[in-house]
Amino acid sequence: MPAQVYLRPTGFVDAPFGYDGRVARLAGGLPWFALVELIRLDENGRQSNELIPVEAIEQRIDALPESEAARARDCWANIVGTRKPIQLRDRVIRLDEPQIVGILNVTPDSFSDGDRYRGDPAAAVEQAVAMASAGAAIIDVGGESTRPGAKPVWEGDEKERVVPVLQRLASSGTALSIDTRKAAVMEAALAIAPMMVNDVSALTYDPLTAQVVAKSGAPVALMHHQGGPETMQQAPHYDRPVLLEVFDWLAQRIDAAVAAGIDRSRIIVDPGIGFGKNVQHNLQLLNGLAMLHGLGCPIMLGASRKRMIGALSGEAPADQRLAGSIALALKGAEQGVQLLRVHDVPETVQAIRVWRGLRDAALTPAL
């Protein structure tokens, strides 16, 4: 395979003051960084790493072979570029700071809150309104569990679960997302109101989904996965470092979505924590999240209550993983993640507000 080059922002600093030309702002957000890790895989797959100051990165890129330099320039422009807000009807969701996406599962078998709202759309709506009131910018409604080992759900059953909830929430003005892999469910949801589409298969499960999203003009989240829910956790394996494979896979899915007529500015990427990854894979992805800004799309992180938290804390069950979930949300925020998809909205909002207070204080020049 040809040589490949990757850029990972690192060396984060509290504020840019006094560092003119020596720090850069990450994706138009609150974090600033002073160093870039340049990772290169040669034709034989051998990896080399360099740590380069921000003020020297463009000169170092120019010294690369032209085929590598072109990709590195694109990545660098994406890393320091800004992200357009998400527009959902009259709601504008800015991406220059972390935003919370509240999870609403109307399924009988989701790993965390399955069967909580089955047959009771009013209770589901009440929970969604509570999450929005607590500070969630978007409510992500799903009618099919994609936990490890889950079986596919017939699209008719999935629509029956989500449509009544979406209809009631749309009338309340709540910004919405539909979590589905199926074109028919996307169409039913988008007929109710403009909303984001969150597809854990990155538009690969159903060949009609890309057409539906392109026609609607909806924002779409493309998530990395390896295998389907039934098999994805059966000895997941990567031939190269997981962060690099996820980066390249998402780049290919972005290109496929754009080729299908989806505007690049409406694409969001998700590293897919827990979807075809073991604990070590997940940790490597979380430590290297900032690299994904090189794709030029907003990042959504869904690590809330994931099994890895239990694995790192005495096998704590899903309903006892709040502290670990907040730790991972803050890890995402410090690396410029724009959308944090969580179960525990009030607690995560509070954590992000404290984090934001620290950032604001650092970015306010001392008198």
Could you give the residue numbers annotated as active site?
306, 341
- Which run of H or of E encompasses 53? strand 47-53
Q: What are phi and psi of 123, to 5 degrees?
A: -65, -40
- The closest of 212, 178, 171, 173 to 195, measured between CA atoms, is 178
Asked whether 85 and 338 are in contact (CB, 8 A), the reply is no
SS3 267: strand
Q: Are strands 300-301 and 267-270 parallel, antiparallel or unpaired?
A: unpaired
DSSP designation for 290: G
- Which run of H or of E encompasses 220? strand 220-223
- Which run of H or of E encompasses 352? helix 345-362
Alpha-carbon distances, residue 279 vs 200, 238, 309 (angstroms):
19, 13, 9
Asked whether 199 and 220 are in contact (CB, 8 A), the reply is yes
**How far apart are alpha carbons 252 and 265 in whole angstroms?**
16
- Which run of H or of E encompasses 9? strand 4-13
The residue to which tokens 């969701």 are assigned: 93
Task: Give me 253's structure tokens.
Answer: 């899915």
Q: Are strands 32-41 and 4-13 parallel, antiparallel or unpaired?
A: antiparallel
**How far apart are alpha carbons 267 and 221 in whole angstroms?**
6
Task: Starting at the earlier edge strand, list the strands of the sheet with 176-179.
Answer: 267-270, 220-223, 196-199, 176-179, 138-142, 99-105, 339-342, 300-301
